[in-house]
Amino acid sequence: MNNRLVSRWSETNLASMNLKIYNYLYCGKDLHNIDGLEEYNGRLDLRGYKIINGFSKGINSLFILKKIKNSNFKKIDFSYSDFSNTIWENCTIESCNFEQSNFKSVDFTNIEFKKTKFRNCNLSESILNMNSGINSGKFEDVDFIDCNMSKSLFRFPLMKNCRFINCNLFETDFDGTRFEDCSFSGVLDSTFFRGYSFFAKSSIKFKLFYNEKFHNKMDNIDFSQAILKGVIFAHKINLNKCKFNITDTNLLIILDSENVFNMAKVIIRSEWQEPYKEKGIVFIDKVLYTDDHKEQKINIVDRYILTDDGKDQPFGDMLFDLLVKCNFQYKNLYTRA
C-alpha cells in the first residue's frame, strides 16, 4: 500500500500538484486551500508525499533549501511521506498522523505539536525543536510509537502528556526538555535528560539570565515500564516526581548521592585491591558523580553502564553491589536519625 501511495505523486494527476504544494509549504499557506486534494479518514490526504527540491529562476538556477516555515497544519495525514533533510521553523502541527514517515536529519525550530501521532517513523539524527531565543516549541498529547529517534537532539521544548512506546532512543539527548505527565516504555539506551538546557542556541544574555529559568521539572514522569541502560540524568534535574521500576534488580535509585558515593569510595579505598580500586574511584568521580550530578539529590545508576553491557561483568557487578549496600545502609541510618 505504501508503494502505491508514494508512486501516485508521480504517476497520477497529483504529480502536477507537487510544485504547488511545495510553494504552499515554503510560503506558509494553508494546504486545505489547494483544489484537488482529497481527504482520508477525516484528514487531508498527503500520504506518500515527498517534498521536492525547488529552484529559483535566477543566475545558474540557485538551489532553494527545503524549508517549511510559519505554517499551520491541522488534520492532515502525512503517513509514508518523506521530509528528510528539511528545515521547519515556527509551525503548528495539530491532529496530524505520521506513519512510516521519514524525518531523518530534519531541523525543527520552535514547532508546536498537538494531538499528533508518530508511528514507525524515522526521526533519527535530527534536531527536534531547536530554540529561537526563549521559544523552543511544544509537544502536547503526542504519541511516539516504535519510532527511530536515535542520536536526535532537543533543546527545552515543553513535553506535556506524551508517550514514548518502544522507540529507539539510543543516544537521544532530550537536553532540557521540560517534561510533564509523560511516560516511557521499552529500552532507553544512553539517553540524556537534564534539569535545564545545556546546548540551547543562545546569546550571552540568554545564558546568564534565562537558561536555568526554563527548568525541567520532570513532573509525573513514568519510567516504570522502561529498561534504563546507561541513561544520564544531570544538570540539577529533580527526579522526586518520577516513577521507576523498583523491582528491577539492575536499577538503583540513590536517594542521597553525596553521602552514598562518598561512603562507597571510603570502602573501595580501604577494602578493594588493584586494579579495581583505582578503577572504582575513577568510575564514580568521572562517570557516576561528576560535577554535572552534584547539585541533585537523587541519582540513578544501572548495572548495564557499570558492566559496559556485559563486557566488564565482574567489575560492574562488584561496584553495583557495593552501591546497593551503601544506599541501603544510608537509608537505614537516615531512618534511625
> What average pLDDT score do residues 42-56 get?
79
pLDDT tens digits, one per residue of 281-318: 999 999 999 999 988 889 999 999 999 888 899 999 99
Residue 12's beta-bridge partner residues? Answer: none
**What residue numbers bound the domain in which 26 lies?**
1-102
* Averaged confidence pLDDT in the chain: 89
Quote the CA–CA distance of 22 and 317 in Å, as a whole number: 56
pLDDT value at residue 287: 94
Q: What is the pTM of this model?
A: 0.90
Residues 299 and 311 in one domain: yes
Cell numbers for 237, please give them.
534535574
Grid coordinates belonging to 105: 536529519
CA–CA separation, 326 vs 307, rounded Å?
A: 19
Domain match, 79 and 19 both: yes
d(CA 81, CA 51): 8
pLDDT digits (tens, 9 = 90+) for 161-199: 999 999 999 999 999 999 999 999 999 999 999 999 988
Q: CB under 8 Å to 249, separation ≥6 — which residues?
A: 303
Q: What share of the chain is helix, strand, coil (3-state, %, to 5)?
A: 30, 30, 40
pLDDT in tens, 80-127: 999 999 999 999 999 999 999 999 999 999 999 999 999 999 999 999
Same structural domain, 168 and 223: yes
Cis peptide before 314 (omega within 30 of 0): no
% the chain with pLDDT above 90: 72
Alpha carbon 143 to its chain centroid, in Å, reads 13
pLDDT of 67 strictly over 50: yes
Q: Are residues 240 and 255 in the same domain?
A: no
Q: Is residue 47 part of a domain?
A: yes
1 and 83: one domain? yes
In this predicted structure, what is the pLDDT of residue 94? Answer: 97
Task: Tell which residue, 272, 138, 306, 149, has the closest CA to residue 214.
Answer: 138
User: Which domain-ending residue is among 52, 81, 102?
Assistant: 102
The predicted structure's pLDDT at residue 206: 54
Residue (of 98, 63, 61, 62) closest to 83 by Cα position: 98
User: What does the pLDDT read at residue 309?
Assistant: 82
Q: Is 191:171 a contact under the CB 8 Å cutoff?
A: yes
Same domain as 298, residue 285: yes
The verdict on 213 and 272 lying in the same domain is no
DSSP-derived secondary structure letter, 89? E
Rounded distance between C-alpha atoms, residue 228 and residue 248, angstroms:
10
Question: Which pLDDT value is given to residue 53?
Answer: 57
Instruction: Give the model's pLDDT for residue 28.
Output: 86
Q: Are residues 235 and 290 in the same domain?
A: no
Asked if residue 229 and residue 279 are part of one domain, the reply reads no
129: in domain: no
Give the Cα separation of 28 and 6 in Å (integer): 23
Same domain, 230 and 257: no
Residue 80 in domain = yes
Q: Is 70 a member of any domain?
A: yes
Q: Are residues 227 and 148 in the same domain?
A: yes
pLDDT at 174: 97
15 domain residue, yes or no: yes
- What number of other Cβ atoms are within 10 A of residue 328's Cβ? 12
Residue 146 in this model has a pLDDT that exceeds 70: yes
Condensed to tens digits (0 to 9), the pLDDT of residues 210-269 reads 566 789 999 999 999 999 999 999 999 999 999 999 999 999 999 889 999 999 999 999
Domain count, the chain: 3
Helices (H) and strands (E) in the chain, counts: 7, 23
E strand residue ranges, 125-276: 127-130, 138-145, 158-160, 163-165, 178-189, 192-194, 219-229, 232-234, 242-243, 251-254
Same domain for 242 and 147:
yes
User: Exposure string (b/e) for 208-221, b if CB count within 10 Å is 16 or more?
Assistant: eebbeebbbebeeb
